[in-house]
Structure 1
């Protein structure tokens, strides 16, 4: 499913409104964890089936998010912003497992909109253009280098795949470069002296918010049973049984 230009424009307006409402500035990178904490979105990171990136739930006036810790940190950050669309923008949202970052491969319009909302919010155009211009890569025509791509994904703390889709859509790279640069993001980042935590899974990423993190810590320290922990999660209306908790190969 391909997104229409008018739909992108509508999402840009929603992103601008969201940034204004939450004092995020017009073109600055955002700290996703701090934003979730400020919005009161209780977030837990857990190994899930590789197909699922995460899900969000509203229950009794509270917001809850589950994110696949077997994905890279950058992909998790994209997933969290994708889920923010469901929680704070999408009307009549019904909780369901998501596969964030598929863009044109999405078959559900709201999943497509959530991907593009995340791309527009997490990777603001003004910052991209300034970075490319400062690198001397805008004249006479855009010719971004992989070094600039690495800098941008570190600035945004996002996945390589999502950033490349964003840059191609902006006309800053070609499809051929998108396909070439998608491979081995950690190795290529290392070539330019960038840290590689962004490209790794996070088996011990700390939960965000109150109550749930305390329950998670208590469970990890064997202070409560698995049944107790599951009951706490169910307090937020979350049933993990139909998602699958197999760790992908």
Structure 2
């Protein structure tokens, strides 16, 4: 397995490739939407699966389990990006939801990359030391909430990273695996990070798939009926039937 410093370096490299800095929290969904080679599919999957990725030539597809929490979906995106940009010789990979489970080396590397991509090593170290004013083995559950809210990490991903970096023990982490939403709400945070998407948004496709369908229609290379079929197969009836909510020009 690669050294942590090398994987953190790869995370920094990909951040810069996407035009991001090395310290700030990032909106991984926006990163994907702005990458012309990627298609993103949100779809309910087994509770044992976090997502999967497919690579076929220049086509890259990331499928995310839309029943997982928003924080976990962000982690899954970063995990799949590692497979797509740094692993070779694969066509599809299905990824487990349990970060703490025994996995092969590629999956362990992808988990570590996802953590560093969302919260680079130096950035998290600085946040804990300078913002929270804490040292290793002194973190309270309130500090855990502030870390996960700042970087958009799920509780599982946050505890796993802090144990991995020696900030808390596994025994202490085990005491913070329940009461997750209440611990955030009582500090004044929204609970979006800890909940899945609403059911009406759990089937949807973004990215290259939609763009190509629009181009084929505009160039009259496919019929209107075929265009609608493609869109419906991508769960985009909202585009076909104009189901978007009213807009405000504020």
Structure 2 distance, partners of 1:26, 1:10, is: 15
Indicate which of 10, 16, 22 corresponds to 1:20.
16
Q: How far apart are residue 89 of structure 1 and its match? A: 1.0
Q: How far apart are residue 225 of structure 1 and its match? A: 6.2
Judging changes above 3 Å, is the alpha-carbon distance between structure 1 residues 213 and 191 closer, same or farther for their aligned structure 2 residues? farther
Query: Where does 1:1-249 land on structure 2 (aligned, <5 Å)?
Result: 7-40=3-36, 41-103=38-100, 105-133=101-129, 134-138=131-135, 142-202=137-197, 203=199, 204=201, 207-212=205-210, 229=233
CA contact (8 A) 1:27 1:124 kept: yes
Q: How far apart are residue 20 of structure 1 and its match? A: 2.8
Q: How far apart are residue 132 of structure 1 and its match? A: 2.0
Alignment TM-score, normalising by the size of structure 2? 0.77
Q: Which one has the largest radius of gyration? A: 2
CA contact (8 A) 1:33 1:208 kept: no
Moved more, 115-124 or 91-100: 91-100
CA deviation profile, 1:192-237 (whole Å, cap 9, x unmatched) = 111001111113155432534998xxxxxxx95699617x9xxxxx
CA contact (8 A) 1:51 1:99 kept: yes
The number of aligned residues is 218
5+ residue gaps, structure 1, are 216-222, 233-249
Q: How far apart are residue 68 of structure 1 and its match? A: 0.6
Judging changes above 3 Å, is the alpha-carbon distance between structure 1 residues 66 and 212 closer, same or farther for their aligned structure 2 residues? farther
Q: How far apart are residue 156 of structure 1 and its match? A: 1.4
Judging changes above 3 Å, is the alpha-carbon distance between structure 1 residues 135 and 13 closer, same or farther for their aligned structure 2 residues? closer
Normalized per residue, the structure richer in strand is 2
Alignment TM-score, normalising by the size of structure 1? 0.77
CA deviation profile, 1:6-61 (whole Å, cap 9, x unmatched) = 53232122223222322321222211111112223211111111111111112342
CA contact (8 A) 2:48 2:97 kept: no
Structure 2 distance, partners of 1:227, 1:123, is: 35
Structure 2 distance, partners of 1:213, 1:190, is: 39
Structure 1 distance, partners of 2:124, 2:106, is: 26
CA deviation profile, 1:44-100 (whole Å, cap 9, x unmatched) = 111111111111112342211111111111111111110001111112233022114
Judging changes above 3 Å, is the alpha-carbon distance between structure 1 residues 79 and 213 closer, same or farther for their aligned structure 2 residues? farther
Judging changes above 3 Å, is the alpha-carbon distance between structure 1 residues 13 and 173 closer, same or farther for their aligned structure 2 residues? same
Instruction: Give the CA RMSD over aligned residues.
Output: 2.8
